[in-house]
Chain A
Amino acid sequence: MNTAQNEIAGIISLWVAGTAFAILMSAFLIYFVMQYRRRQLLHEQQQQEQKLLFQQELMEIQAEIKNESLNYIGRELHDNIGQMASFLKMQVELLLRRSDHQNNEVLSELREHSQSLIDQIRALSRGLNSQNLERFGLIDMMRFEVDRSNRLGLASVRFEAPEEMPVLSSQAAIFLYRVFQELLNNSLKHSGASEIFIHIEQDNEGIKLHCQDSGKGFDPQSLHQGSGIINLFERCKQIGAELTIASKVEGGASFLINLPANTYKTS
């Protein structure tokens, strides 16, 4: 092989090697762009998951704080205001024993009002304090609420529930109870219904809480952030329950909460 041939061979080798190297670098650039996009998506997904987790924890904390506050108010009502009402009633009874016939009627009426006040405070305190759930059980607590609502006379509330309920985790029991209170109070306050029917069903799949009223209804599309029903949705999402609403203007409203069995089983 002469010098010229050597030169050409050298040039060709360099050309091949150089082109291969440059093509490799360009291919790397394309690979990088694809990898970067993939990692970016993964990163975004992780951030989204963290955000969701944070929101869920925040909601749990909010629910816990709310529950603790209600417990505190319930205890204060029972221990403080309830005791003052009892004392008031005792004083009235004392006065009634000492008084003449002229004041008896007024004092008797006052005594009845005092008793009614004590009953209302006791019922309210019981309803607010979720610790009573362990003491009385979920269904009995719901019955107390229904009785209290019926005593208010705003609407006729009917309640049906199975005699036996599965053992619920305390989180699930508080959830069902608070949701039940929210639904009942919403119907009493906003629907203008004369009849409210609440029933609970339980089977292997889970627990269903159904609340129907004969009120003025609403357009489910017009719900806005911060409304009680949106909060209900949030509360359901938090525990893994499903809320279905069926309502139309002037057509009453129906709320169905489906709590799957895996969300309330105690460990």
Chain B
Amino acid sequence: MSSRFSDLIDVIIWRFSPYFKEFSPYTFGLLLILILTFYYRKSVSADFRRLFPLLVYWPLSEFAGIVFKQEWGNNAPVHHIYTVLYYLLVVYYFYPLLKSEKGMKFYFIASSTLLILFAVLNAYFFQPLKVMPTNAIMFHCLFILVIALFSFKQMLANPIPTLLRYQSQFWISAGLLVFNSWAFFFFALHAYFLRVGNYPLILLNIPGIFAFVMLLLFLLAFWAEVKTNHFRYEHSAK
């Protein structure tokens, strides 16, 4: 049994090792948070646990993007799906936190529906599967920015005695705000270049820097979870 398992691992490594090399450096940061969250899943708060699907989905889509690029020379199809699913997972994280805010339930449902519809129509009429869906990504960034801003608004309206740096919601919202405000700009530039001519390849890597910043803030969110009494109590009781 164990030899069959190790054979399987060998095959996976042999089959996928060319792709692993292509991973962006920030993906390793992402994997670190993923492993930490998985390991301490019983210790982190229920709110933080809802980030887990996003943390799983993100490297998977990165991986799928690399596979697509190497096998078919284009990873744009992955982005068509990634844009929508990523947004839905962000909604999944924020929904319980913000649903009590006036109009937020409507916003979550309406924006998700709108993004799905727009992504489909965009892929059908404007940016086919082989083209980077910059239009949909820009909407996706804007929608996430609104959620992050509402998250800050909700935190301001209900201040709790815990220091801000020990609140994971703050770090996650800050990460999403920083990344998406820059990503929105870069994808607008990308959209512009798609229209007027060649897109400088160096610009493709710049969002990666902000993704790294976002992951750093997510790591701080995890650290904030560790710093709360809730974490210590449950972890020591394990």
Interface residues of A (CB under 8 A from B): 3, 6-7, 10-11, 14-15, 17-19, 21-22, 24-26, 28-29, 32-33, 35-37, 39-40, 42-44
Contacts and interface: CB of A to CB of B under 8 A. Distances in A.
B189 interface: yes
Contact of B185 (A14, A29, A32, A43): A14
A29 B178 contact: yes
B185 A22 contact: yes
A29 B192 contact: no
A24 B181 CA distance: 9
A25 B181 contact: yes
Interface in B78-126: none
A35 B192 contact: no
B231 interface: no
The 7 residue pairs across chains A and B that have the minimum distance between CB atoms = A18-B185, A25-B181, A40-B159, A39-B159, A22-B181, A43-B159, A22-B182
Given A25-B177, A26-B178, A32-B156, A11 B192 contact: yes
Interface in B160-203: 160-161, 164, 174, 177-178, 181-182, 184-186, 188-189, 192, 196-197
B152 A32 contact: yes
B64 interface: no
A19 B185 CA distance: 8
Contacts of A40: 159-161, 164
Interface of B: 145, 149, 152, 155-156, 159-161, 164, 174, 177-178, 181-182, 184-186, 188-189, 192, 196-197
A32 B178 CA distance: 13
Contacts of A33: 164
Helix, strand, loop or mixed for chain B's interface?
A: helix
B140 to A, nearest CB: 16
Given A37-B164, A43-B161, 14 more contacts: A3-B196, A14-B188, A18-B186, A18-B189, A21-B181, A21-B184, A22-B185, A25-B177, A25-B178, A28-B152, A28-B177, A32-B155, A40-B160, A42-B159
Contact of B189 (A3, A14, A24): A14
A36 B164 contact: yes
Nearest to A43: B159
A93 to B, nearest CB: 72
A29 B180 CA distance: 13
A21 B142 CA distance: 12
Contacts of B149: 28
A36 B155 contact: yes
Contact of A7 (B152, B164, B181, B197): B197
A3 B149 CA distance: 38
B134 to A, nearest CB: 12
A21 B181 CA distance: 7
Contacts of B192: 10-11, 14
Contacts of B196: 3, 6-7, 10
Nearest to B196: A7
Contact of B177 (A6, A15, A29, A39): A29
Given A10-B192, A10-B196, A36 B181 contact: no
A49 to B, nearest CB: 15
Contacts of A26: 178, 181
20 contacts: A7-B196, A14-B185, A15-B189, A18-B184, A18-B185, A18-B186, A18-B188, A18-B189, A21-B185, A22-B178, A22-B182, A25-B178, A26-B178, A29-B174, A29-B178, A32-B152, A32-B156, A36-B159, A37-B164, A40-B161
